[in-house]
Amino acid sequence: TFGVKVETKTFGVEVEKKFMFDAETERRIAEALPLKGEVRIEDSYFDTPDFRLTTQDFWLRVRDGAWELKEPTPSREGGSAGMDVYNELTEERDIAAALERLLPGMDMTRGGPLEQRLFAEGCEAFCTLVSARRKYGAAGGVGVDLDVVVAPEGFSYAIGEVEVMAGDAGDVPRAEAEVDAFIERLAPPPGKVALGKVLALIKHARPEHFQALQRALGDKYPKLNQV
């Protein structure tokens, strides 16, 4: 969400970093990596009216019908500067249990779809983003996703992400170095802070929400105060 992510998967550790791109950057990517395909992605993000999830750095979304909660974990010792570490919950029962711990007084034990239970507890979608994604990369190597937001109307944004798989936690520094080296080769446009799509939309359309994030998370993520 904030630029760099280390995510533990069942088959390894995924290291990712965001970057801004333009037509020249994509030309360099296309020279280095094959185009794997293009997909359309729709994300809806949820929070309480007083931003109690996002100001604690918890990001709840549904992507094309599948739920996901990104929760922060303590930063690893010795990681790259600015490294943010998230766990990702994808089972609805795990998400419901985490929300009950995070938001005292929330009762997620009632039946029905997760969205219905969230609505009953005052947690609703605050934005929906539709993106066209182009995927570049080779099996077992560097992968690149380029997202261009196509909705909501009036919001134009493009963001890229480089990812490399590490075999285990001990292999993460090697993967981080590979990600940073690839982005340096791309020479992305200078002078722009690479915010994730949802943060960029919040800054664009929800100034009160963005200011709350700056107050709550600005010390942890200095880039929030650099945009």
C-alpha 40/C-alpha 57 separation (Å) is 26
pLDDT band at 6 (very low <50, low <70, confident <90, very high): low
Residue 108 phi/psi, 5-degree rounding, is: -105, 15
Residue type, 227: V
- Overall size of the chain counted in residues: 227
Q: Pick from 165, 164, 144: which is nearest to 28 by CA?
A: 144
In 30-157, the DSSP E strands lie at 35-47, 59-63, 66-72, 84-89, 124-137, 143-151
More confident residue, 129 or 80: 129
Of 107 and 3, which is predicted with more confidence? 107
Q: For position 80, what pLDDT does the model report?
A: 52
Q: What is the 3 state secondary structure string of the chain? A: CCCEEEEEECCEEEEEEEECCCHHHHHHHHHHCCEEEEEEEEEEEEECCCCCCHHHCCEEEEECCEEEEEEECCCCCCCCCCCEEEEEECCHHHHHHHHHHHCCCCCCCCCCCHHHHHHHCCCEEEEEEEEEEEEEECCCCCEEEEEEEEECCCCCCEEEEEEEEECCHHHHHHHHHHHHHHHHHHCCCCCCCCCCHHHHHHHHHCHHHHHHHHHHHCCCCHHHHCC
Tokens representing 92 are 């609805």
The reported pLDDT for the residue numbered 78 is 40
Please tell me the pTM assigned to this model: 0.85
Cα–Cα distance for residue pair 4/129, rounded to 1 Å: 20
Check residue 167 and give its pLDDT.
Answer: 78
Sorting pLDDT into bands at 50, 70 and 90, what band is 79?
A: very low
Are the C-beta atoms of residues 5 and 80 closer than 8 Å to each other?
A: no
- 81 pLDDT more than 50: no
Q: Assess whether pLDDT exceeds 70 at residue 76.
A: no
Whether the Cβ atoms of residue 82 and residue 94 lie closer than 8 Å to each other = no
Report the largest interatomic distance among the alpha carbons of the chain, rounded to a whole angstrom: 53
* pLDDT tens readout for residues 97-154: 999 999 888 888 777 889 899 998 899 999 999 999 999 997 778 999 999 999 999 9
Q: Calculate the average pLDDT of the chain.
A: 86
Q: Is 75's pLDDT higher than 80?
A: no
Beta bridge partners of 143: 137, 163
User: In this structure, is the dihedral angle defined by the CA atoms of residues 51, 53, 56 and 57, taken in order, positive or negative?
Assistant: negative
Q: Is 190 helix (H, G, I), strand (E, B) or coil?
A: coil
| pLDDT single digits (tens) 173-209 | 888 899 989 999 998 888 778 888 999 999 999 999 9
pLDDT band at 8 (very low <50, low <70, confident <90, very high): low
